[in-house]
């Protein structure tokens, strides 16, 4: 049995850091283990322009613990008023690595997102021309579509038509949650990648609902049936270059999670790597963990892999991480997988 594993220092290709007090509280949890992260732009107000992204990057860097080696990779929030020239300039400067498409109303702080894809075609055409990836939250928001079917319907009615219309566009299907998402990513060619979260490898919808509603397991896209979870596990552990880690670690203070209309998101920055080692070991795929965490994402984003490494060690006693991260805005609950984890990050 493998007891020790050395990995190229990983990256997180989908991360929420929020702003203000929450940013200061949660950023050390990511910077401890990850070298880089694609930073989501759904603040209030959102990160729409290159100037917005530069200002947000500066706030992130100012919040880093002393001595931390972490690089935020900035994104822009796509709106129907986004200026293609501003997007191109932000990429040319090296600041922005992707643009994020939120269907309006799909998730936290997405009300300013896209209602009509036709209205953003000039931006998407420019992105295809310059090779800038589009990260998509892949759900439709029409009320007649069941929440468990939103991803599959999005693929059929929005994503596939868009990619046929604009075949040069590079797209990341973020946080896929279904067997349909896995199949579409596999059939999509070299310009299509897909991120998979830690929590969607562990949860199915029963975990949220059986025995009482578990607000800290509620996320968007919502966890699906067990067959979808197993499809995600098979994809993540396959080693295939199109699949890579995007935790979608999404901090909300407990007061916003534990209420009648609680916020969506699982906070996994603290314990993602031990959890992934547990999952990959279960599936006999520890030799493919580095591809998922450290190699496939940089390859898709056309960036070098990191030079540093870290070490995971399996102990006889289970890992103990804090139940909560305390911020000046309130406590944020760390994702609890519901089972003991024996892998520890030691360097």
Catalytic residue among 52, 248, 254, 283: 248
Bridge partners of 98? 75
How far, in Å, CA of 248 to CA of 268, rounded?
8
Cβ neighbors of 7 (< 8 A, separation 6 or more) are 289, 290, 293, 294, 309, 310, 311, 312
Straight-line distance from the first to the last Cα atom of the chain, in angstroms, rounded to the nearest whole number: 21
**CB distance 134 to 127 below 8 Å:** yes
Instruction: Determine phi and psi for 83, rounding to 5 degrees.
Output: -90, 120
Task: Give the strand pairing for 36-39 and 243-245.
Answer: unpaired
* 3-state class (DSSP) for residue 73: strand
H or E segment to which residue 130 belongs: helix 121-130
213 DSSP 8-state letter = -
Cβ–Cβ < 8 Å for 106, 137: yes
Q: Which of 18, 19, 22, 89 is nearest to 51 (CA)?
A: 89
Phi-psi region of 176 (alpha: psi -120 to 50; beta: other; left: phi over 0): beta
Residue closest to 6 by CA, chosen among 292, 259, 308? 308
Active site residue 254: no
Q: 244: which strand partners?
A: 195
Q: Which residues are catalytic?
A: 248
């Amino acid at each position: 049995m493998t007891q020790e594993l050395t990995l190229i220092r990983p990256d997180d290709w989908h991360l929420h850091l929020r702003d203000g007090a929450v940013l200061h509280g949660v950023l050390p949890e990511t910077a401890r283990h990850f070298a880089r992260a694609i930073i989501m732009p759904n603040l209030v107000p959102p990160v729409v322009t290159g100037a917005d992204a530069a200002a947000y990057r500066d706030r992130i860097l100012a919040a880093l613990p002393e001595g931390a080696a972490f690089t935020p990779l900035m994104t822009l929030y796509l709106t129907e008023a986004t200026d293609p020239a501003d997007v191109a300039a932000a990429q040319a400067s090296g600041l922005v690595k992707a643009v994020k498409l939120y269907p309006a109303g799909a998730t936290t702080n997405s009300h300013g997102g896209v209602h009509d894809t036709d209205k953003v075609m000039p931006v998407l055409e420019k992105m295809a021309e310059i090779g800038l990836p589009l990260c998509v939250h892949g759900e439709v928001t029409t009320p007649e579509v069941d929440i468990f079917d939103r991803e599959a319907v999005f693929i059929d009615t929005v994503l596939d038509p868009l990619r046929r219309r604009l075949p040069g566009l590079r797209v990341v299907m973020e946080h896929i949650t279904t067997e349909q998402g896995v199949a579409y990513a596999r059939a999509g060619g070299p310009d299509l990648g897909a991120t998979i979260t830690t929590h969607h490898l562990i949860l199915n919808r029963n975990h949220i609902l059986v025995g009482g509603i578990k607000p800290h397991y509620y996320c968007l896209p919502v966890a699906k049936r067990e067959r979808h979870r197993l499809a995600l596990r098979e994809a993540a552990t396959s080693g295939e270059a199109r699949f890579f880690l995007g935790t979608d670690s999404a901090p909300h203070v407990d007061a916003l999670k534990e209420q009648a209309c609680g916020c969506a998101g699982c906070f996994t920055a603290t314990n993602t790597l031990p959890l992934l080692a547990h999952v990959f070991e279960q599936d006999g795929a520890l030799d493919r963990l580095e591809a998922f965490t450290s190699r496939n994402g940089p390859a898709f984003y056309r960036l070098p892999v990191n030079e540093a490494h870290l070490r995971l060690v399996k102990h006889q006693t289970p890992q103990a991480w804090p139940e909560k991260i305390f911020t000046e805005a309130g406590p944020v609950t760390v994702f609890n997988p519901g089972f003991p984890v024996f892998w520890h990050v030691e360097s």
